């Protein structure tokens, strides 16, 4: 548990020499990440802001670890429903980064375009969100390939964005592709595959393909039962959806 004394201790132990400052920044980053996992977003924000402030001075705006810290702080802002601050942070990164090529792995690791798209989506600014999601997806395809897990995640995120806008045919096209590759690469019972299966089933139902939607959701429920058991909340939730569809 991240206690208040531990938080104060982490912030107070600021070293003087450059190498020790780097390690101190990384410690703050890891502690902020741990606070996020606990749901302590206030503490996480304090730690991430301090880490970012120092790491900018030590490593510069364009270093991959600076970008990584900016990405985490942006996610914290989103979790705290402070979308305007998240947007400003992501735009700032877009303007200052000169990492070679818009598809460089460091840029992909930071995934600032995707995070900014998430922020725009939360504000229902669909046109801007879609443009950034497409940009992120195309960059990942160029650098990491069509079947890389990160590429598939970007594709699935874009499909969800289409679903939120009830653009079901476009959502279906992407969802079918994601499910095909995830089945091949990850197997039928991987959580990401099951998520894709459920999303495609929902899309088919919205398109009036109820028989296919029910059949696919039945498969999803069976795999989930085998993976997690009959009484797991995720299994129960999918089972309830299936019953409502039948």
**217 lies in a domain?**
yes
Cβ atoms of 74 and 112 within 8 Å: the answer is: yes
**200 lies in a domain?**
yes
Residue, of 24 and 200, whose pLDDT is higher: 200
**168 lies in a domain?**
yes
What percent of the chain stands above pLDDT 70? 78
Domain total in the chain = 1
User: What would the pLDDT profile of 90-103 be if each residue is shown by its tens digit?
Assistant: 666 655 554 434 44
Cβ atoms of 23 and 16 within 8 Å: the answer is: no
**116 lies in a domain?**
no
pLDDT for res 203? 95
What percent of the chain stands above pLDDT 90? 25
**Mean pLDDT to the nearest integer, 53-61:** 84
* Sequence-distant (≥ 6) Cβ neighbours of residue 111 within 8 angstroms: 71, 136
Angle, CA 41 vertex, CA 5 and CA 190 arms, to 5°: 120
Cβ atoms of 33 and 25 within 8 Å: the answer is: no
Q: Which residue has the tokens 């730690």?
A: 47
Task: Give the CATH number of the domain where residue 244 resides.
Answer: 1.25.40.10
- Prediction pTM value: 0.61
pLDDT for res 103? 42
pLDDT for res 208? 96
**226 lies in a domain?**
yes
**229 lies in a domain?**
yes
Helix (H, G, I), strand (E, B) or coil at 173: helix
Return mean pLDDT, the chain: 80
User: What would the pLDDT profile of 203-241 be if each residue is shown by its tens digit?
Assistant: 999 999 999 999 999 999 999 999 889 998 888 889 999
Q: Which domain holds residue 166?
A: 145-246
**218 lies in a domain?**
yes
What is the rounded CA–CA span in Å between residue 115 and residue 207? Answer: 29
What is the rounded CA–CA span in Å between residue 101 and residue 106? Answer: 10
**183 lies in a domain?**
yes
Cβ atoms of 36 and 17 within 8 Å: the answer is: no
pLDDT for res 92? 67
């Amino acid at each position: 548990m991240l206690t208040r004394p531990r938080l104060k201790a982490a912030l107070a132990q600021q070293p003087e020499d450059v190498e020790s400052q780097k390690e101190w920044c990384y410690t703050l980053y890891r502690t902020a990440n741990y606070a996020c996992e606990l749901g302590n977003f206030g503490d996480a924000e304090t730690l991430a802001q301090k880490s970012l402030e120092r790491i900018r001075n030590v490593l510069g705006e364009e270093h991959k670890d600076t970008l990584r810290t900016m990405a985490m702080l942006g996610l914290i802002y989103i979790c705290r429903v402070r979308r305007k601050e998240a947007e400003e942070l992501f735009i700032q990164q877009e303007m200052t980064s000169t990492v070679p090529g818009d598809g460089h792995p460091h840029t992909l690791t930071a995934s600032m375009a995707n995070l900014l798209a998430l922020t725009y989506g939360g504000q229902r600014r669909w046109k801007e969100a879609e443009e950034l999601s497409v940009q992120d997806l195309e960059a990942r395809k160029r650098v990491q390939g069509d079947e890389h897990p990160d590429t598939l995640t970007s594709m699935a995120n874009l499909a969800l964005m289409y679903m939120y806008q009830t653009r079901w045919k476009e959502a279906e096209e992407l969802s079918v592709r994601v499910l095909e590759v995830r089945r091949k690469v990850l197997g039928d019972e991987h959580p990401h595959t099951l998520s894709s299966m459920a999303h495609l089933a929902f899309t088919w139902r919205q398109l009036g393909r109820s028989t296919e939607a029910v059949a696919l959701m039945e498969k999803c429920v069976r795999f989930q039962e085998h993976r997690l058991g009959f009484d797991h909340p995720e299994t129960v939730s999918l089972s309830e959806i299936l019953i409502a569809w039948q």
